[in-house]
Amino acid sequence: MLYIILSILCSTCILVVFKTGDRIGANTRHIIVVGYPVSALAGALIFSVTPQAIMSPWFMLAALEGVVFYTVFRLMAISAQHSGISITGIASKMSVVIPIAVGIVWLGETVNLLIIAGILCGLLAILLTVGKRENIAGWYWPLLVFIGAGLVDASLKLFQVYGMTEADFPAFLVTVFSFAFLTGLLHHLTYRERTINGRSVLAGIVLGLMNLGSTYFVMVALAIPALSSVFVYSVTNFGVVVLAMLLALAVFREPIDGKGWIGLVLAVASIALLYQGQLA
């Protein structure tokens, strides 16, 4: 559970970075562009990744994963603009059903009634906590976010199933984040305004470190034989919902309506059910 908790903390910190970015005068696109090379460099330094370690059979798949990483980020931004933040939030969080389905259908992981009840409670919690519904004229943008985010999460487990060992994780992540940076840099160069201010750099450094931690810790959790991917993905996703809501209430003083409180209770209940189901 320790790695799951660490992943939840890092993922929630990512949300805090984006939440506070506008307030401190940072640009979200710039934060992302700075964040990816920080993730890659930090991973290479912390885990002493060598060029030889990167040149592995999974290299091309990791490179493609990096391109998809950045693309999903941009899809989220476009979806938020065209279809609304709430709908985009629902799409990104509900995408957890894709790795859950992959775990059950493709990998043959077993689930019991407690786990099923936990998943249903968590999904209902997401629907209740996102807030009011907004314009969904561009319905295909949230759909693309749903598919993209879900496939990215599912792929982390599939890479492990089909040959990648835990010793490969650091080099794999350095490759992914490096190609995410290259993709983001190319996109950044298409804009006229390319100057990145100091506040965006600072926020990007924090984002990069948290992004590395979030992805690494969830991959380590997925590698633990006693934990199913259904359990890991569900608890991580619903845990972020709980912690983000508590921070919104305590730190950012955001009001929570009746549905939000019910959603918070359901999210906590879902984690408890999933935990008990894993032990059963």
Q: How far apart are CA 130 and CA 230, in angstroms?
A: 22
Q: How far apart are CA 280 and CA 247, in angstroms?
A: 32
Task: Work out the percent of the chain whose per-residue pLDDT is above 90.
Answer: 38
On the question of pLDDT at 23 being above 70, the answer is yes
Q: How far apart are CA 222 and CA 209, in angstroms?
A: 20
Q: How far apart are CA 166 and CA 222, in angstroms?
A: 10
Q: How far apart are CA 162 and CA 215, in angstroms?
A: 18
What mean pLDDT value characterizes the chain? Answer: 87
For residue 52, the model assigns a pLDDT of 85
Contact 202, 30 (CB under 8 A): no
